[in-house]
Structure 1
Amino acid sequence: CRWRSALLWRAFFTTAVVAVVLRALIDICKRGRCGLFGKGGLIMFDVTSGYVNYHVIDLPPVITLAVFGGVLGSLYNFFLDKVLRLYNVINEKGRTYRLLLAATVSVCTSCCLFGLPWLAACKPCPADSREACPSIGRSGNFKKFQCPMHNYNDLASLFFNTNDDTIRNLYSNGTDHEFHITSILVFFIASYFLGIFSYGLALPSGLFVPVILTGAAYGRLVGMLIGSQSTLDHGLFAVLGSAALLGGSMRMTVSVCVVILELTNNLLMLPLVMLVLIISKTVADAFNANVYDLLVKLKGFPFLEGHAEPYMRQLSVSDVVTGPLQTFNGIEKVGRIVDILKATGHNGFPVVDEPPFSDTPLLYGLVLRSHLLVLLRKKEFISSSTASASDASKHFSPEDFAKRGSGKHDRIEDIELTAEELEMFVDLHPFTNTSPYTVVETMSLAKALILFREVGLRHLLVLPKTSKRAPVVGILTRHDFMPEHVLGLHPYLFKSRWKKRDAVQPAPSIRHPMTHARTTAFLSDGSRNKRPMRPSPTLPREARGKRARDATEKGANSCQEYRTAPS
């Protein structure tokens, strides 16, 4: 979406309110009323006490940390994708299985957190410690955990703290000998996989803080292994480790850089953080997509990129339109509306006027599924297909068509109609958008995508080039612009998409499951996916394919727009 001045003022007001409330809560928490979560603030992990002085000799260890951080970040995304696919299969079986899955992972997590510290040996308290050793209270760097007096368990100090306190412990300066390398290795492996298995359960969980925590342990581990070749403190290695794992997993270099610097309040680390983020992102991009793109694809959201693919310049919108198209008359029979709503999952339907309302079939506009459900629920029907209910809108209020804040919406299955009501008619004219966005069928698919994205549309009507055909050829939604759908219809374009690589023509299996469902028989099984595939209304498939391949060989895919002749 575009940045607007109204959004700027809203963000400014929200930030001001958050700052005032946070300052008030900090003053309250200073009195000890917030328990373990009372140490937060604007600067969560302050490392300004450590002066950052780095030289050329520090670059090889930092680059090594960034490279392996990118690899670990891509592996994190890979494992998370596999685990979430497994969780989806289990969650689809019902609420009981979701609760059992969450309980099972919780029990395993508790066993790890309480069992692994028994493997660590007790360490004597440092003589120059700035904190009480062992720690007094439920937080601190020195957990006693079954150790004798004046000793502490470093692994328990990492596990038996809140995530914020653990990150502070790992980021702390002058603590190079506070943790044993074996304890850091065990904590890194445990937090790495527990973060993966904890996400996607039926409980509040996230990715950002667990990745920061795992990255801090990874940075500490690298600092212990190759820190002798550098002048950097192990705590600074932990900060860079968090940046490396965030860059390898989330790939948001600028945002992560700002977040890391604001959380640590140390601008002197800016060059190293930038270097680590760029390297880790570059390495991870060679393996897979960022974690948020993987989650979007896993959930099946038809997310469109901000730019058009080069191969879209070779196609017109008619080349991706699939059918059959479901339209309504201006005055439609109630039974037909119910049948189409039950058989399809479309959210928008073209309304076409026919005689006697117009001399020839004419596109009147677009009516939404939600509006049709409101009309059926209110039962403002008419008995004749020729009578127009011009005052029908007076029986409705704006609240009837407003979105419900609860997230609940009407379903066609919940609306009960008698046999007599199914034989009646409803006037759609007062409830139809008479000025929907339309494009001609010969328009470039790339231009249509830009229009679709810039305006923020959900439906784009495709009109015929000539007036002797039906008033509307098809309707485009986000699914029709998805690469999986386009390449599924035109697989020969796959090679031009990856022309820099000697890619072979893909097998039909590359088609996305959602696209496959859209291009299969649909009206018979009531699937909620889109329309079944039909031949393009322009040239036959063989002629269109040959023409596009000839254009591709001549270099038309780089700067020209391929158009097919209308039938």
Structure 2
Amino acid sequence: MSTSTVKEFHIRTLIIFFAAVFCLGIVTYGIAIPSRLFIPIILAGACYGRLVGRLFETISKLDAGLFALLGGTMRMTVSLCVILLELTNDLLLLPLVMLVLLISKSVADIFNKGVYDQIVTLKGFPYLEAHAEPYMRQLVALDVVSGPLISFSGIEKVGNILHVLRTTGHNGFPVIDDLPLSDATELCGLVSRSHLLVLLMGKVFSKDRILAGDESWNRFAVFDFSKAVSGKGIKVEDLDIEEVEMEMYIDLHPITNTSPNMVVETMSLAKAALLFRQLGLRHMCVVPKSQGRPPIVGILTRHDLMPEHILRLYPHMKPHKL
């Protein structure tokens, strides 16, 4: 966007440059390099705008250097406005740029979402929107809990833990203990899959069903249970558990999160979804409202709160398009 540059670029040059930038931007997006679509889209849009200006110069007396076409590809209104003003260094263009941004975003929202939202959908990432869907107000947290629930005892057999890790892809498991002198049970907390793998790798086993002492945990460092900086950490295939060790026991209390985030089963699903997103949770325990039942009825994850999962369970709640 600059004046007095009508003949600076030839039409053939603009076509070749636009095709190259557009195609290379599509091919390189998503590969493991520090590259995004922002700069290629600005280059392609500026080139396409100048090309349109050159094509219409025979029927229009406007300065072709002022032509630019702005599409609502990424929906980045404020940041894009600042960038364009920095590039042009002309505050007089601010009202026009704001008007063009408003029009392009409004028109693009009629057809589809932004390119980044489309990529998230195509990749299948469980991204939660900032607002809850209207039909979520008609459901409660218990309605979307996926089952069956898999839990561990506070002192669990090694073979049972290894079997669950091999046969499921869950990343969080409730730890339930029996109350003394009673048939009831209580929820001790939540244990993560990564912590279980570290514990099994360290082989802090015992032949009897007893609590582990402090000396058993001296072999672990402080950062052993922290998230791996690179790679995916320990895998189930990395474990080397012998048959004799499968019948031993392991104490899960030291690695159990004793204060997990919990909601009552009758809580509105819309409220639970907003709470889940605002706190940045990975797991949310759903507990019963009445006594005399198991201490936990299920676990909510991002996948359980996705609209696709909810509408698959309750297809009659799918909004009808006019």
TM-score by length of 2: 0.92
CA distance in 2, matches of 1:323, 1:357: 30
Letter in 2 for 1:479: H
Q: CA deviation at 1:441?
A: 0.7
Q: CA deviation at 1:460?
A: 0.2
Q: Which residue of 1 aligns with 2:241?
A: 417
Q: Which residue of 2 aligns with 1:477?
A: 301
Q: Which residue of 1 aligns with 2:203?
A: 379
Deviation digits for residues 431-469 of structure 1, max 9, x if unmatched? 111111111111100010111111111100001122222
Q: Which residue of 1 aligns with 2:54?
A: 224
Give yes or no for contact 1:188–1:218 (8 Å, CA) kept in 2: yes
Spell out the pairing of 1:301-380 with structure 2 (5 A cutoff): 301-356=125-180, 359-380=183-204
- The farther-off stretch of 479-488 and 228-237 is 228-237
Q: Which residue of 2 aligns with 1:210?
A: 40
Report the identity percentage: 59
Please tell me the root mean square deviation across aligned C-alpha atoms, in Å.
Answer: 2.1
Q: CA deviation at 1:204?
A: 5.1
Assess, with a 3 A threshold, how the Cα gap between structure 1 residues 289 and 260 changes in structure 2: closer, same or farther.
same
CA distance in 2, matches of 1:473, 1:227: 70
Query: Runs of 4+ in structure 1 displaced over 6 angstroms?
Result: 228-231
Q: Which residue of 2 aligns with 1:493?
A: 317
* Alignment gaps of 5+ in structure 2: none
Letter in 2 for 1:310: P
Letter in 1 for 2:8: E
Letter in 2 for 1:260: L
Q: CA deviation at 1:203?
A: 5.1
SS, match of residue 266 in structure 2: coil
Deviation digits for residues 128-148 of structure 1, max 9, x if unmatched? xxxxxxxxxxxxxxxxxxxxx
- The farther-off stretch of 319-328 and 248-257 is 248-257
SS, match of residue 195 in structure 1: helix
Give yes or no for contact 2:195–2:225 (8 Å, CA) kept in 1: yes
Letter in 2 for 1:213: L
Letter in 2 for 1:261: L
* Structure 1 counterpart of 2:211, from 376, 383, 388: 388
Higher helix share: 1
Q: Which residue of 2 aligns with 1:185?
A: 15
Q: CA deviation at 1:266?
A: 2.3
Letter in 1 for 2:76: M
Q: Which residue of 2 aligns with 1:542?
A: none
Assess, with a 3 A threshold, how the Cα gap between structure 1 residues 229 and 278 changes in structure 2: closer, same or farther.
farther
CA distance in 2, matches of 1:435, 1:190: 55
Q: CA deviation at 1:421?
A: 0.9
State how many pairs are aligned: 321
Spell out the pairing of 1:445-524 with structure 2 (5 A cutoff): 445-495=269-319, 498=320, 501-502=321-322
CA distance in 2, matches of 1:213, 1:231: 25
SS, match of residue 492 in structure 1: helix
Q: CA deviation at 1:199?
A: 2.3
Spell out the pairing of 1:53-452 with structure 2 (5 A cutoff): 171-201=1-31, 205-226=35-56, 233-237=63-67, 240-241=68-69, 244-245=70-71, 248-356=72-180, 359-385=183-209, 387-391=210-214, 392-452=216-276
SS, match of residue 403 in structure 1: coil
CA distance in 2, matches of 1:437, 1:485: 22
Q: Which residue of 2 aligns with 1:124?
A: none
Higher strand share: 2
